[in-house]
Amino acid sequence: MRTLDSNTSLRIAVQKSGRLTDKTLNLLEGIGLKFDDYKRSLLVKCLNFDVELLLIRDDDIPEYVEDGVCDLGFVGGNTVAEDEADVTILRGLNYGVCRLSIAVPKNENINKPEDLAGKKIATSYPVLTRKFFESKGIDVNIVTLSGSVEIAPRLEIADAISDLVSTGGTLKANGLIEIDKIFDSETQLIQTNKPLSEGKQQLIEKILQRIEGHKKAAESRYIMMNAPQESVPEIKKIIPSLKSPTVMPLADNGMVAIHTVIPLSTFWDVMENLKEAGATGIVMLPIESMIV
Ligand code: PRP
Ligand code: ZN
Give the number of the atom of ligand 1 that is nearest the alpha carbon of residue 164. Answer: 2
Please state the rounded mean pLDDT for residues 165-171: 96
Please state the rounded mean pLDDT for residues 166-186: 97
Is the distance from the beta carbon of residue 16 to the nearest atom of ligand 1 less than 6 Å? no
User: What's the pLDDT score for residue 41?
Assistant: 83
Given ligand 1 and candidates 95, 150, 170, which is best to mutate, with the most ligand atoms within 8 Å of its CB?
A: 170
Residue 24 to residue 15: CA distance in whole angstroms: 8
Give the number of the atom of ligand 1 that is nearest the alpha carbon of residue 59. Answer: 22
User: What's the pLDDT score for residue 290?
Assistant: 78
Q: Which residues contact 207 (CB under 8 A, 6 or more apart)?
A: 31, 72
The pTM score is 0.85
SS3 119: coil
CA dist 178 → 144, 164, 171 (Å) = 19, 11, 8
Is the distance from the beta carbon of residue 99 to the nearest atom of ligand 1 less than 6 Å? no
**Res. 4: pLDDT tops 60:** no
Sheet containing 220-228, strands listed edge to edge, beginning at the edge strand earlier in sequence: 246-249, 255-263, 220-228, 280-286
Please state the rounded mean pLDDT for residues 184-200: 97
Give the number of the atom of ligand 1 that is nearest the alpha carbon of residue 172. Answer: 14
DSSP strand E in 36-86: where? 43-45, 51-56, 72-76
Given ligand 1 and candidates 20, 166, 183, which is best to mutate, with the most ligand atoms within 8 Å of its CB?
A: 166
Express each pLDDT in 116-154 by its tens digit. 999 999 999 999 999 999 999 999 999 999 999 999 999
β-partners of residue 27 are none
Burial class (CB in 10 A: 0-12, 13-18, 19+), 139: exposed
Residue 244 to residue 234: CA distance in whole angstroms: 14
Residue 54 to residue 70: CA distance in whole angstroms: 8
Which carries the bigger pLDDT value, residue 121 or residue 41? 121
User: What's the pLDDT score for residue 240?
Assistant: 66
Residue 123 to residue 150: CA distance in whole angstroms: 9
Residue 255 to residue 281: CA distance in whole angstroms: 12
State the pLDDT confidence band at 263, using cuts at 50, 70 and 90: confident
Is the distance from the beta carbon of residue 82 to the nearest atom of ligand 1 less than 6 Å? no
Please state the rounded mean pLDDT for residues 267-281: 90
Instruction: Output Rg (C-alpha) for the chain, integer angstroms.
Output: 25
Express each pLDDT in 58-67 by its tens digit. 999 999 999 9
Q: Per residue in 211-227, is it b (16+ CB within 10 Å) or e — as a string?
A: bebbbbbbebbbbebbb
Alpha carbon of 155 to ligand 2 centroid (Å): 22
Is the distance from the beta carbon of residue 167 to the nearest atom of ligand 1 less than 6 Å? yes
Please state the rounded mean pLDDT for residues 248-275: 88
Domains, the chain, ranges and CATH? Answer: 10-95+187-217 (3.40.190.10), 98-185 (3.40.190.10), 220-286 (3.30.70.120)
State the pLDDT confidence band at 219, using cuts at 50, 70 and 90: confident
Element (H, E) at 244: none
**Res. 1: pLDDT tops 60:** no
Residue 121 to residue 115: CA distance in whole angstroms: 12
Is the distance from the beta carbon of residue 19 to the nearest atom of ligand 1 less than 6 Å? yes
Q: Lowest mean pLDDT of 5-14, 142-151, 254-263, name the range.
A: 5-14
Is the distance from the beta carbon of residue 242 to the nearest atom of ligand 1 less than 6 Å? no
For ligand 1, atom 6: residue with the closest CA: 164
User: What's the pLDDT score for residue 190?
Assistant: 98
Is the distance from the beta carbon of residue 168 to the nearest atom of ligand 1 less than 6 Å? yes
* Mean pLDDT, rounded, of the chain: 92
User: What's the pLDDT score for residue 5?
Assistant: 46
